[in-house]
Amino acid sequence: MNQHERLLIIDFGSQVTQLIARRLRELNVFCEIHPFNKVDDAFLAAFAPKAIIFSGGPSSVFAEGAPMPPAGVFDLGVPILGICYGQQVMMHLLGGKVERGHGTAEFGRAFVTPTTDKLDILDGWFAEGREQVWMSHGDHVSHIAPGFKVFGTSPNAPFAITADPERRFFAVQFHPEVHHTPKGAKLYENFVRLAGFTGDWTMGAYREDAIAKIRAQVGDAKVICGLSGGVDSSVAAVLIHEAIGDQLTCVFVDHGLLRQGEAEQVVTMFRDHYNMPLIHADESDLFLNALEGVSDPEVKRKTIGRLFIDVFQKHAHEVGGATFLAQGTLYPDVIESVSFSGGPSVTIKSHHNVGGLPEKMGMKLVEPLRELFKDEVRALGRELGLPASFIGRHPFPGPGLAIRCPGEITREKLAILRKADAVFIDQIRKHDLYDEIWQAFVALLPVKTVGVMGDGRTYDYACALRAVTSVDGMTADYYPFTHDFLGETATRIINEVQGINRVTYDITSKPPGTIEWE
Ligand code: XMP
């Protein structure tokens, strides 16, 4: 098995640390994010990074117990890039000086101009004499550390870019990982090239390693995988199937809350196209009966989560002695974030997953996507030959249409919702907008309204269209459809779907809204 060249990101709690990792992954560099308080000298030795990046963070180096890297970090002889708070940490520890606050605030967009000296990591910068960067900092550096020189300044940050080229230590006041630093990616590219990375992190290489790892972990044991029809569990299943063939059985639970044609699509693809052992558990009666009369969103979610575990457990027995459970867990789910509040965060929604399963069933986990970001999972799916139409599918939540039908769920409402949703998606595809949108769906509202069709009165449901753009589902904005598109879609839904006589468009962003209605 290959040991990839590794870069370590020491996280000091910045909101955008994950973006650093993404920029590096785009350069085919393998990196991991670890919180500062979990990184000691022994960890550094074991991780053996080829380069290190200090993230930004909300702290002040003057604060009691201020986040710091381990003492030995500067003796490893590897290049280090410090960003924002990371820059201050470097100056503070290497003999420079940091001062509280800043004379003139410099948050947001700023322009950096070069000094006369050249610096490798700035190759390709300053073609127009200056570069736009994104600043966001509290304290500021007032004296740079011995051995450092200034390579870029901005009106309010005389030490915007500093470096000790001999030791290959670089420190920038701004955030090169964000979009608003247009040449930021170039800076990272220069940094990893200077550190000697060859770009060995490719999906082809990952696929081979992952297959070898799965085989080594599982041996000749049996594995089961809950298949939701989403991209993550599907890619995990195909990868594991490639590794261990029929030792893997997938269980697809149809809870009666899927979209139009969804169960058939998933089952056909996996059973017929991939020839994968697949249990299609049609448990819609069980779920829909249990949800009868339930209108509270959290009760819905918890009921579905509990039943899902029961059903999965029941069907897993049929497989006969599976000792491993496969899950499509992604890297953002396993990154341990730095918590400064210390307290538990508020539960907005109880997300449905098979989290409780492994302990309950005494199974070990196989999680071959644990190191990947969502876009990398899609790339791996392409590498494994999954159809593009499948890989590009919008996310669909575990509780399915239950949370798109606010209030009580009935089979009649679900049937109406499925039809309206299919028309909306058809419209989006027809207008070639599907790939521009993160997620689009219809929510059927628990209100009936009066309308007039032909010469008659109607008294039918209202629905809301929801379509958002997003990078990771954490924040989102509504999609700016044209009025023509919205008008045409409303007309089609009202004409084609019996039971709906009013269509609205949800223009709430997240926050303050959430993407789903419940
Ligand atoms: P919200 O509604 O919280 O959704 O803004 C963010 C993203 O998560 C999806 N979502 C879920 N996915 N199980 C899932 O697998 C869930 O219980 C669940 N709830 C929301 C949602 O569709 C959106 O993509």
DSSP 282-328: E-HHHHHHHTTT---HHHHHHHHHHHHHHHHHHHHHHH-SEEEEE--
The alpha carbon of 516 and the centre of ligand 1 are apart by a number of angstroms equal to 7
What would the 3-class secondary structure string for 121-176 be? Answer: HHCCCCCCCCEEEEECCCCEEEECCCCCEEEEEECCEEEEEEEECCCCEEEECECC
Residue 237 corresponds to which tokens in the numbers above?
């299943």
3-state secondary structure of 266: helix
- Number of Cβ within 10 Å of residue 56's Cβ equals 28
pLDDT value at residue 358: 66
| Nearest-CA residue for atom 14 of ligand 1 | 397
Class of the 203-392 domain?
alpha beta
pLDDT value at residue 146: 98
233 is in an annotated binding site: yes
Choose among 352, 320, 403: nearest CA to 233.
352
For the segment(s) 411-505, the CATH number from 3.30.300.10, 3.30.420.40, 3.30.70.1350, 2.60.120.10 is 3.30.300.10
231 is in an annotated binding site: yes
pLDDT value at residue 203: 93
Residue list, ligand 1 pocket, CB within 6 Å: 349, 351-352, 395, 397-399, 439, 473, 510, 514-516
The alpha carbon of 323 and the centre of ligand 1 are apart by a number of angstroms equal to 29
| Nearest-CA residue for atom 3 of ligand 1 | 514
3-state secondary structure of 42: helix
Q: List CB contacts of 39: < 8 A, sequence separation 6 or more.
A: 8, 10, 69, 70
Evaluate whether 399 touches 300 at the Cβ level (below 8 Å).
yes
pLDDT value at residue 471: 81
Q: Residue 305 CA: which ligand 1 atom is closest?
A: 17
Instruction: Specify whether 175 is catalytic.
Output: yes
Instruction: Specify whether 177 is catalytic.
Output: yes
Catalytic residue among 92, 137, 140, 175: 175
For residue 35, the cross-strand partners are 11
pLDDT value at residue 339: 63
pLDDT value at residue 337: 67
230 is in an annotated binding site: yes
| Nearest-CA residue for atom 20 of ligand 1 | 397
What string of DSSP letters covers 419-458? HHHHHHHHHHHHTT-GGG-SEEEEEEEEEEEEEEETTEEE
For tokens 């594991």, the residue is: 240
234 is in an annotated binding site: yes
The structural domains of the chain, with segments of one domain joined by +, span 7-195, 203-392, 411-505
Evaluate whether 481 touches 440 at the Cβ level (below 8 Å).
no
Catalytic residue among 5, 106, 131, 177: 177
3-state secondary structure of 113: strand
Q: Residue 349 CA: which ligand 1 atom is closest?
A: 3
Catalytic residue among 31, 84, 250, 405: 84
3-state secondary structure of 494: helix
Q: Which of 307, 349, 394, 401 to mutate to test the pocket of ligand 1 (most atoms within 8 A of CB)?
A: 349
**Cα–Cα distance between 207 and 212 in angstroms, integer?**
9
At the fourth CATH level, which superfamily is domain 7-195?
Class I glutamine amidotransferase (GATase) domain (3.40.50.880)
Choose among 328, 331, 283: nearest CA to 306.
283
Instruction: Specify whether 496 is catalytic.
Output: no
| Nearest-CA residue for atom 22 of ligand 1 | 397
pLDDT value at residue 85: 95
**Given this chain, do its domains 203-392 and 411-505 carry the same CATH topology?**
no
Q: List CB contacts of 268: < 8 A, sequence separation 6 or more.
A: none
pLDDT value at residue 217: 98
pLDDT value at residue 3: 78
| Nearest-CA residue for atom 7 of ligand 1 | 473
| Nearest-CA residue for atom 21 of ligand 1 | 397
The alpha carbon of 397 and the centre of ligand 1 are apart by a number of angstroms equal to 5
Residue 518 corresponds to which tokens in the numbers above?
């419940």
Q: List CB contacts of 512: < 8 A, sequence separation 6 or more.
A: none
pLDDT value at residue 159: 95
pLDDT value at residue 357: 67
Q: How far is CA 394 from CA 113, 225, 250, 438, 511, in A?
A: 42, 21, 21, 6, 20
Instruction: Give the 3-state secondary structure percentages of the chain, helix then strand then coil, rounded to 5.
Output: 35, 25, 40
User: Residue 446, preceding bond cis, omega within 30 degrees?
Assistant: no
pLDDT value at residue 219: 98
Evaluate whether 95 touches 146 at the Cβ level (below 8 Å).
yes
Divide the 518 residues of the chain into consecutive groups of 10 and give the mean pLDDT of each group.
86 90 94 95 97 94 92 97 97 94 69 95 96 87 96 93 98 93 97 97 92 97 92 96 96 96 92 90 97 97 92 86 90 74 62 61 90 90 92 93 98 98 98 97 98 94 97 88 98 98 97 94
Classify 77 in phi/psi space as left (phi over 0), alpha (psi -120 to 50) or beta. Answer: left
pLDDT value at residue 375: 86
